[in-house]
């Protein structure tokens, strides 16, 4: 129970990696606010008083403010913010529209600014901000120029933000997943492409949401008190190739 008496927000937690993170934080003793642009209270029905759901478009400041307000009203504090919400629509650079670029930047990068700023204001006794980045922040992927750029921005942001928030005892780190099996992980990929991706992973398998959740739970715990400004790659060794 590494996170007993802690309160966490996990954005983009209706499914996939976000849901896996939220569930592990509950297992470790935290009270968790599931937040997503989709979903409803049924997502947290099984967790009783350990969780609530707050619908939120994290690219809109007023909705982020409401998310923080709802968290404080229900649990009285906020100790951990996990910025997981993100989109990765495949689109060739030559055909990408300005609107498509702006949407990815708003959801993947601007939202991290909005939620982190709002959360830091209500963490007077310190806290944890953990962003879900991607190996796409360090390796290029065709058809994902906007996504790669947004995640590279996240990596840069956590280093600068870690410096600004250090005197408030708020650590800021990122976890960069490789290939993770989720409902949307095979979007735009053929079966052959998936097989080729697995062949490039030294550990010989795709990751699971729990693999990312474990890294997040560690960074959220007291065991990671002296770690800040770091991006931890969790990819089964893919980027070692």
Active site residues: 147
Instruction: List C-alpha distances in Å: 80 to 31, 112, 186.
Output: 10, 14, 30
Interhelix angle for 16-27 vs 209-220, to 10°? 50
Give the pair of three-digit tokens for residue 6: 């802690």
Element (H, E) at 123: none
Collect all residues with Cβ–Cβ distance below 8 Å to 44 and sequence separation of at least 6. 34, 51, 52, 53
| Angstrom distance (rounded) from CA 196 to CA 133 | 23
Give the pair of three-digit tokens for residue 27: 């297992």
Instruction: List C-alpha distances in Å: 127 to 141, 192, 222.
Output: 34, 43, 10
């Amino acid at each position: 129970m590494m996170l007993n008496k802690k309160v966490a927000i996990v954005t983009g937690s209706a499914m996939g990696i976000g849901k896996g993170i939220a569930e592990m934080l509950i297992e470790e003793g935290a009270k968790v606010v599931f937040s997503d642009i989709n979903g409803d209270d049924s997502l947290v029905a099984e967790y009783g008083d350990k969780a609530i759901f707050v619908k939120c478009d994290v690219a809109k400041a007023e909705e982020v403010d409401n998310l923080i307000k709802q968290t404080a009203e229900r649990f009285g504090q906020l100790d951990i913010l996990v910025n997981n919400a993100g989109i990765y629509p495949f689109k060739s650079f030559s055909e990408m529209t300005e609107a498509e670029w702006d949407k990815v930047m708003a959801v993947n990068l601007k939202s991290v600014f909005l939620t982190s700023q709002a959360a830091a204001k209500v963490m007077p006794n310190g806290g944890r901000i953990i962003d879900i980045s991607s190996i796409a922040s360090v390796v290029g992927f065709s058809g994902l120029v906007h996504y790669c750029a947004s995640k590279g921005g996240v990596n840069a942001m956590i280093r600068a933000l870690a410096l600004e928030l250090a005197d408030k005892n708020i650590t800021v780190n990122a976890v960069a997943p490789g290939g993770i099996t989720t409902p949307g992980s095979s979007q735009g990929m053929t079966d052959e492409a998936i097989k080729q991706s697995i062949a490039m992973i030294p550990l010989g398998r795709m990751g699971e949401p729990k693999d990312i959740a474990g890294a997040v739970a560690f960074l959220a715990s007291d065991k990671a008190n002296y770690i800040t400004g770091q991006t931890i790659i969790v990819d089964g060794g893919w980027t070692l190739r």
